[in-house]
Amino acid sequence: MNGVHDMGGMHGMGPVEDEKNEPVFHARWEGRVFALRRAMGAWGKWNLEATRHEVELVPATDYLRMNYYQRQFAAFIELMVKKGLITRAEAESGKGERGSPKVVPALTVARTQTLVTQGVPASRNVAVAPRFQPGQRVHTRNINPTGHTRLPRYARGKAGTIDRDHGVYVFPDTNAHFLGEKPQHLYSVRFTARELWGEQASPRDSVYIDMWDDYLEHA
Amino acid sequence: MSTSRRGFLAAAGAAAAQDLAHAQDHGHGHDHQVVPSDATLRVKSIESLLVEKGLVDRAALDALVDTYEHKIGPRNGARVVARAWVDAAYKNRLLTNGSSAIAELGYTGLQGEHMVVVENTPKVHNMIVCTLCSCYPWPVLGLPPVWYKSAPYRSRSVIDPRGVLREFGLELPEDVEVRVWDSTAEVRYLVLPERPAGSQNLSEEALAALVTRDAMVGVAKVALSQTGDRA
């Protein structure tokens, strides 16, 4: 979707502000949001791409006003309600509805370290032929889906060069909507800064963007 | 969107605006609130609901917070960089297969499942961003700082990398090629900074102490005078 989250190349966001001696979490609740999302993810009711898309659905004015963990928290509650893990009324009251079943947590302390150290790989060991080879010139598609995509607006309809083939990965545009993983080759594609931004850009600079087969056409 | 969703977002947004007003009033970010913020209460309420329903185990939440506050951070990445500086064969493995070379030092897992390491040289400067969200290599750098997740960094680093680097105090000569890596997929990038001149006699451990988080994101260079990561 052409949301405000897709902000590469936008102006007017102000200077980058570095904070000295920054804590990992600025308030206790931020750490709890971080941990709650991981713990609830263990129920397997959604995937990484779906969580990202839910954040994209936060209305633009709220998205820009909220900090990172506020957005994550808002999206997290929406996902839990959509997937039936809690009801809207429970989210509002903080109390379980009468007769709601008590279950056993999916993420135990013992499983926490496994999750942290093994992660959730997005690569897939399936035989899919690559459509492109390193060094090949490509064009990116000009698509404007209303759903999830990882093809940034600033890189649509542009010419680039395949830098490397990362292998076969889950395709986010379908997986975010629970329409299947559609595994396909993922490449790092090099775009010159001038191709993306015009003559004002440095002639030497470039941006490398990870792109799936479905985003690319032969040049 | 349902009205209750609007209500929730409005409440969360209002809380964010209050936090912002608070920060602007004081001009600094210290924590001296007496009354719990709306976010504190809302998150507590959701946590107790999920515990009540048996959906989460509080001890698992504590373990996760502790892991990312105390156990995983940029010291991990600094050890990877220092090893590459003293061991040419390791550096070669690191640049060829980042994930397995980093795993040799024991750093694996969430948001670092697929690692690619890019090397800075006197003629090439790499920097990392995620314009679409805030993807970042957790096992080697920990959780990202606020500036990395902020709209200014996400919007500007692809269109004006040299301007962003200047704000970090790094002025690059025109003849240096800047490569910006936008983390749009599940591949996570780490910059291998240049080893500082005059560091030939330092031990691997002393070298690791020089390497900063910012240098591994590519918004700074490693300096000989630097002592440890400020983050």
Domain ranges of chain B: 36-71, 73-217
* A32 lies in the same domain as A101: yes
In degrees and rounded to multiples of 5, residue A164 shows phi and psi of: -160, 160
Same domain, yes or no: A109 and A184: no
The whole-angstrom separation of Cα A186 and Cα A216 is: 10
User: Rounded CA gap, B55 and A215, in Å?
Assistant: 38
Total number of domains constituting chain A:
2
Q: Measure the CA–CA gap between B74 and B222, rounded to whole angstroms.
A: 14
| DSSP of B23-45 | HHHHSS-----SSPPHHHHHHHH
A32 and A113 inside one domain: yes
CATH of the domain at A183: 2.30.30.50
Which of A84, A118, A152 is the last residue before a domain boundary? Answer: A118
Calculate how close chain B gets to A98, using CA atoms only, in Å: 11
Spans of chain B below 70 pLDDT? 1-34, 226-231
> Residues A193-217: pLDDT tens digits?
999 999 999 999 999 999 999 999 9
Contact A29/B143, CB-based, under 8 Å? no
Of B16, B48, B146, the CB nearest to A94: B48
The pLDDT tens digits for B180-223 are: 999 999 999 999 999 999 999 999 999 999 999 999 999 999 99
| DSSP character string of A155-184 | GTT-EEEEEEEEEEE--HHHHTTTS----E
Cα angle at A98 between A96 and A104, to 5 degrees?
55
Catalytic entry in B45, B48, B100, B133? B133
CB B35 within 8 A of CB A83: no
Using a CB-CB distance cutoff of 8 angstroms, which residues of chain B are in contact with residue A88?
2, 4
Last residue of a domain, one of A90, A118, A146: A118
Would residue B135 show up in a list of annotated catalytic residues for this protein?
Answer: yes
Residue of B nearest to A169 (CA): B186
B157 given a catalytic annotation: no
pLDDT on residue B29: 46
3-state helix, strand, coil in chain A (%, to 5): 35, 15, 50
Check whether residue A146 and residue A204 sit in a common domain.
yes
Complex ipTM value: 0.97
| Residues of chain B contacting residue A150, judged by C-beta atoms under 8 Å apart | 132, 184-185
Give me the residue from B16, B108, B184 closest to A65, CB to CB: B16
* Same-domain pairing of A141 and A211: yes
Residue A32, class by beta-carbon neighbours within 10 Å (0-12 exposed, 13-18 middle, 19+ buried)?
A: buried
**Pair A93, A146 in one domain:** no
CATH number of this structure's domain B73-217, picked from the four choices 3.30.559.10, 3.90.330.10, 1.10.490.10, 3.30.470.20? 3.90.330.10
CB-nearest to B65 from A22, A31, A91 is A31
What range does the domain containing A145 cover?
Answer: 137-218
Please report the number of interchain residue pairs, chain A to chain B, with beta-carbon separation below 8 angstroms.
312
Q: Return the half-sphere exposure (C-beta side, CA atoms, 13 A cut-off) of residue A157.
A: 6
Residues on chain A touching B63 (C-beta within 8 angstroms): 109, 112-113
- CA A4 – CA A8 distance, rounded (Å): 10
pLDDT at res. A99: 86
Residue type, A167: G
Q: Do both A141 and A191 map to the same domain?
A: yes
Tell me, yes or no, whether A3 lies in a domain.
Answer: no
Q: B99 an active-site residue?
A: no
Cα distances from B136 to residues B29, B47, B113, B130, in angstroms, run: 24, 26, 11, 8
Active site residue B130: yes
Per CB-CB distance under 8 Å, the chain B contacts of A8 are 129, 131-132, 154-155, 158-159, 182
Q: Which residue of B has its CA nearest to A163?
A: B181
Chain A residues within 8 A of B168 when measuring between CB atoms: 16, 18
Looking at the complex, report in whole angstroms how far the Cα of residue B206 sits from the nearest Cα belonging to chain A: 21
Total-model pTM: 0.92
Query: In the numeric block, which tokens belong to residue B222?
Result: 């490693």
Q: Are B184 and A115 inside 8 Å of each other by CB?
A: no
At A65, which CATH number? 1.10.472.20
**Which residues of chain A fall below pLDDT 50?**
none
Residue A126: inside a domain? no
